[in-house]
Amino acid sequence: MDSAKHDAIVAALLTFARAENPVKAELLEIIPHFATVFPDKRIRALLPRLAGNDGIAYLELKRFKPGAKLIGKGQIDQMIYWVLEGQANIVTDINGQPKVIHNSTRGECFGALGVLRGAIRNADVVAGEKGVTVLELDWSLTDRNQELGKNLYHLIALNLADNLDKSYDKQLKIIGNSLNVLHERTFKLLEKSRKLELLLKQHHIDFENEDTDHSQALEQAIVTIRESLALLERQEQRRNLDKLDAT
């Protein structure tokens, strides 16, 4: 974006930079990619000061005590959040029981997809055991200036991509650990199978005429386990996408 366009945005933003209690501009630096999307320091300094006619800022700092609800399932609103301190837990019902499906920590964005889609919230978000401090963005800010709105959409898109990457990395770690356990157990099973065959031969018990090939059956079992892990991986990918869509 050229300097003339930046100047035009700054001039437009100044017309509603009237927040009564603006947050410190430095707090916005915690948001991933913020400085990249908003390279102009003047715009970064103005954002916390932007407010509606009532003087309430579009960006607010909020603190929640442990267990306090930030987002309620079934509600519709225009708020998007970034965790500054503490942890926010995304909670949904699984088999009739509330279950934490994700923990949002420092710098992480949540609540964006529900707002972008104009959909009702399909999960609760509650403060973690030590409480949580968040930066709350009223998405109606995007209606005040078209160019600013484009930049905010870009910022949210980058943050959502980060969330997906983190979920995928976590999933890969789980799958990797599962494969390690599988290898260890497979080796132990093969060792036990060899010892059993040796013991049977020592007692002149021969299964050569039997239709069942035990080693082949074991190998088939291993293949089946690997296929099951692959299925779990695909299911985990879908769950990760669901987590992004949870609020």
Task: Confirm if 28 and 155 have CB atoms less than 8 A apart.
Answer: no
Kindly report the pTM of this predicted structure: 0.72
Residue linked to tokens 């497979």: 186
Segment 220-240 shows an average pLDDT of 64
Segment 135-158 shows an average pLDDT of 96
Segment 99-112 shows an average pLDDT of 93
Segment 82-100 shows an average pLDDT of 93
User: With 80 as the cut, is the pLDDT of residue 223 above it?
Assistant: no
Q: Please work out, in degrees rounded to the nearest 5, the angle formed at the alpha carbon of residue 212 by the alpha carbons of 206 and 214.
A: 80
In this structure, of 21-35, 37-51, 118-132, 153-167, the range with the lowest mean pLDDT score is 153-167
Cα–Cα distance measured from residue 63 to residue 57, given in angstroms and rounded to the nearest whole number = 16
Helix (H, G, I), strand (E, B) or coil at 46: helix
Segment 147-170 shows an average pLDDT of 86
Cα–Cα distance measured from residue 31 to residue 37, given in angstroms and rounded to the nearest whole number = 11
b/e map 117-129, b = 16+ CB within 10 Å? eeeebebbbbbbe
Cα–Cα distance measured from residue 135 to residue 109, given in angstroms and rounded to the nearest whole number = 9
Q: Please work out, in degrees rounded to the nearest 5, the angle formed at the alpha carbon of residue 138 by the alpha carbons of 39 and 12.
A: 50
Where do the structural domains in the chain lie, given as residue ranges? 171-244
- Tens of pLDDT, residue by residue over 205-215, are 665 544 545 55
Torsion of CA 118, 76, 55, 147, to 10 degrees: -10
In this structure, of 4-18, 167-181, 185-199, the range with the lowest mean pLDDT score is 167-181
